[in-house]
A = this chain, B = another copy of it.
Amino acid sequence: MSTPVYRTHRVTMEDVARHAGVSKASVSRFIGEGRGLLTEAIAERIENAIGALGYRPNQMARALKRGRTRLLGMLVADIRNPYSIAVMHGVETACRQHGYSLVVSNTDRDPEQERRQLAALRSYNVEGLIVNTLGQHVEQLRQLQHELPIVLVDRKVEGLGSDLVGLANAHAVGQALDHLAERGYRDLVLVSEPILGTSSRRERAQAFEQWLAGHANIRGQLMETGADLGHRLGAWHAAAMGPGAVFCANGLAALAATLALRELGVRLFDDIGLVALDDLQWYPLVGTGITALAQPTQAIGEQAFQCLLQRLQGERCPPRDLSLEAQLIIRGSTPDRT
């Protein structure tokens, strides 16, 4: 099979017009709004010409003239984080249903990439932006916001004043901790990725502290993932007062914590309980299954899209803060210790 040669000249509106013996204007009307204006005879000629030539309008040119690209941008800090993927799936589905396409940019957590990718998305005239990153470059974001609507996902950016879609973190943390308390756990660790600068992590940590403040009989501490997580967990476990449990603030923390615990040689879930925020497909497979708080990721993605859509349609309301609720899914990792 031979290498194809790329056709240089795509068939254009002018070609169709010529072939049908009408003006470009009529063709434009045919493929756009003004179809009702056209005579039956002309419409038919155009239709045939389009069919014969295989014409497809060029969105770029169309966008240039109309100022509507029907393109949305999504900036993601870590495309390999299952949470991001799940949200992205929600966004993408909603986009598809409304005739938008999605340009995805991954920053790999690099602030410099964040800056460049934002500039790139802007230069493609995306109509709106979904942002799930560190939110360095607040100034850049603020400028961008003068040109197009932005909605943040999961992570707040201070002083930006745009819509936010995320989890009701305090409530979710409460659900998890109440569950642990009820099952008789008395010494807790919150394992989180580095908290600094990520609003959702901070909120979860704060909710953890506050909940502890209201439960004098239960001890708790905070632990960030990192090199010697195993050691630290070991030390904690050795000194635990009463049944202990680990609460993982997200999927990656759950992975790290579970690996660490396993290397520690504890009997998972018999010696130490575990709850994870985010519900990943493999949770049922680890030991007797990991109890989880499922985030409504699909809904989060859809809501984010809806926010954008409403802003694009001219809705002028103060910045919203949509917090969705998590669902507790009880599995074997939190056996009753009472």
Chain A interfacial positions (CB closer than 8 Å to B) = 1-7, 10, 54, 56-61, 63-64, 69, 71, 79-80, 85-86, 88-89, 92-93, 96, 101-106, 108, 113, 117, 119-125, 143, 145-149, 161-162, 255, 258-259, 262, 280-282, 284-286, 316-319
With A59-B123, A85-B85, A92-B106 already in contact, 7 other A-B pairs whose C-beta atoms are closer than 8 Å: A6-B147, A58-B123, A79-B85, A93-B108, A101-B105, A103-B103, A280-B282
Closest 9 CB pairs of A and B: A1-B161, A282-B282, A59-B123, A7-B146, A285-B286, A104-B104, A4-B145, A59-B124, A92-B106
**Among B3, B80, B105, B149, contact of A318 (Cβ-Cβ < 8 Å):** B3
What is the bound-complex CA distance between A103 and B74, given in angstroms?
10
In the assembled complex, 18 residue pairs joining A and B whose CB atoms fall closer than 8 Å, in A order, are A1-B319, A3-B317, A3-B319, A4-B146, A6-B146, A56-B122, A59-B124, A60-B60, A61-B64, A64-B64, A79-B92, A92-B104, A92-B106, A102-B104, A103-B104, A258-B285, A262-B285, A282-B286
Determine if A71 and B124 form an interchain contact, defined as CB atoms under 8 angstroms apart: yes
Give Cα A5 to B117, complex, Å: 23
Using Cβ atoms and an 8 Å threshold, which residues of chain B touch A101? 103, 105, 120-121, 124
Q: Which B residues are CB-close (under 8 A) to A93?
A: 106, 108
Chain B residues positioned under 8 Å from A4 (CB to CB): 145-146, 161-162
Q: Among B54, B123, B317, point to the contact of A143 (Cβ < 8 A).
A: B54
In the bound complex, do residue B125 and residue A59 qualify as a contact, i.e. CB atoms below 8 Å apart?
A: yes
In the bound complex, how far is the Cα of B262 from the Cα of A284, in angstroms? 10
Contacts of A317 in B (CB 8 A): 3
